[in-house]
Structure 1
């Protein structure tokens, strides 16, 4: 647990807000309950037509009707430990969830049930992200430069070699292009690792920012958008372009993203704030979602309509209508809680 607390102070993806809560067991969720999910959720994903959410107390919910009703998934061990990320294979059946204490869960039925593959309550580093590589192997990264890979669907894990620039930096997220050829790993102290050969090799991008990056999303022409603390968002227009800083009107820490069918980019972050860009990430305006919480992730169920769900440290909420008018008061700068210089 000492390691987990240490990572919270490093402001990894929504961890700071998670640790603000005293350990507690959330009220049990009845199958197909509506509006009962009020605990902290860190991750959202879609597997086939199923929507899934993973929470700070180790719970996973799933919905087969676009979030109208939620059902608790069955997990072999109740660890009440923070889960940070989920990822599924292309079959939408096999998936992994990772979290603190080196916790690794696997599902083979699309997320209805999960089995524990690994858990280290003593000196187990937090795992922050997991992804299936083009080779079919699985890769998970986390605190202090930890990177592990599995070639046998999670039965065994071994160290994964990354460039020396990783050192002991925290690795926050793995991201890939739609075709699986281009990849980024982003992390602490401005670390950006890049692969343009389907993860066969990696190299560190030249340093251009000294703060933490929390996530990344691919753009057209092999470009990228990466973002992190205090409103620091950077865009690489194509594979040969330089990284340029985006214009964001307030120092909002962002943690998750989505992209609508018309190209609008949506980032979610602290203070219930959404960063919205209609120019491929060059400039952002701010909108406020319902309530006042740290928004940790977002998924779109329908890219054309913009309908989706947002995870936060205060539960789950539907994606707001970005076309609706909003008062000036709703777009004021959030507090600085949860961010670092």
Structure 2
């Protein structure tokens, strides 16, 4: 009997101790949006998902809010000062000093010193309320427009959901005007460098609210690529992103191009090319069935596409024909850029690496 009582007392003590530990852990909890990134040697090899150039500097972003920068073409890296630990998905520098990074929990970060230090401009805790305020004002101004109450309700739903609103890409035309895009047709625009943001859900031909995976300019047009074959193009006349029909109904992960030519790439090795602004498309033969996940146009004007399996596809000059280049040590690529010295620098699940440029 005594043994039974002792066992029960030990069990009760364990339960109380567990509850106390749980309370302590709850008290110690800090949201990743408020938790500055710790400097760690492991950050150099942690998964990275986005890459950009800031003048001669290369910037990479990735998991746990890690932002790295290199001033020697990716040979050595330093860790940036970042105020939030949310996973980051993309980065863009429209000038040599001004840049933006986005990621999970609706986080938008800004740097004014070429990526060495960052501060938070927006996060998912604010986005829902921002939508409610914006579309409530429109509903008041246009009481007969049935679209506005629906978008107010969408904003309210986002408020109730909390901060979990992944942003998937960012693009700025200059140091003032830019867009962030994400899941379920989430899109915001700024015209003052991120000091304020305007919801653009009503400016997209995306009635099914497909995810917006990427946004990029070809020099003469601005495109958004999304899931289930969604491709949108900015129409200056109507001031909205209009749908562009494509012959592929799978997800697109990126857009790449130059004036007069655009490539859109995505699942299962699919790459489409248009030379008439998206009116007609040609499917390019990649010879691959693995997703194309990143791309760039190098200093010589050649297209370079990278895959989830570590392959590199190159098209000399125009994007009309892609050639597969075997890599000695294939590495999955999620983001890529070319350094000022000409080196290819890529980001992926194995951190940042450099690749041979030839041909």
* TM class, shorter-length: 0.7 to 0.9
Q: What is the alpha-carbon distance in structure 2 between the residues aligned to residue 44 and residue 82 of structure 1?
A: 14
- Give the match for residue 19 of structure 1: none
Aligned 8 A contact 2:46 2:350 in 1? yes
Larger CA Rg, structure 1 vs 2:
2
Aligned 8 A contact 1:29 1:71 in 2? no
SS at match of 1:271: coil
Do the aligned partners of residues 48 and 134 (structure 1) sit closer, same or farther apart at CA in structure 2, a change above 3 Å counting?
Answer: closer
SS at match of 1:248: coil
Aligned match for 1:258, one of 293, 296, 300: 296
Aligned 8 A contact 1:254 1:267 in 2? yes
Aligned 8 A contact 1:269 1:294 in 2? yes
1:63-142 matches, cutoff 5 A: 63-77=70-84, 79=85, 81-90=86-95, 92-120=96-124, 122-133=162-173, 136-142=176-182
CA shift at 1:191, angstroms? 0.6
- In structure 2, the gaps of 5 or more residues are 1-36, 126-161
1:1-341 matches, cutoff 5 A: 28-29=40-41, 37-77=44-84, 79=85, 81-90=86-95, 92-120=96-124, 122-133=162-173, 136-160=176-200, 161-178=202-219, 181-195=220-234, 197=236, 200-221=239-260, 223-239=261-277, 242-278=280-316, 280-302=318-340, 306-323=342-359
Q: What is the alpha-carbon distance in structure 2 between the residues aligned to residue 216 and residue 157 of structure 1?
A: 24
Do the aligned partners of residues 29 and 106 (structure 1) sit closer, same or farther apart at CA in structure 2, a change above 3 Å counting?
Answer: same
Q: What is the alpha-carbon distance in structure 2 between the residues aligned to residue 259 and residue 87 of structure 1?
A: 15
- In structure 1, the gaps of 5 or more residues are 1-24, 31-35, 324-341
Q: What is the alpha-carbon distance in structure 2 between the residues aligned to residue 247 and residue 58 of structure 1?
A: 37
Taking structure 2 as the reference length, the TM-score comes to 0.73
Do the aligned partners of residues 46 and 133 (structure 1) sit closer, same or farther apart at CA in structure 2, a change above 3 Å counting?
Answer: closer
Aligned 8 A contact 2:39 2:79 in 1? no
Deviations 1:262-285 (A, max 9, x none): 443210111211112236223323
Q: What is the alpha-carbon distance in structure 1 between the residues aligned to residue 238 and residue 56 of structure 2?
A: 28
Normalized per residue, the structure richer in helix is 2
RMSD (Å), alpha carbons: 2.5
Aligned 8 A contact 2:94 2:175 in 1? no
CA shift at 1:47, angstroms? 0.8
Normalized per residue, the structure richer in strand is 1
Taking structure 1 as the reference length, the TM-score comes to 0.76
Q: What is the alpha-carbon distance in structure 2 between the residues aligned to residue 232 and residue 270 of structure 1?
A: 13
Q: What is the alpha-carbon distance in structure 1 between the residues aligned to residue 70 and residue 175 of structure 2?
A: 30
Deviates more, 1:196-205 or 1:247-256: 196-205
CA shift at 1:198, angstroms? 9.3
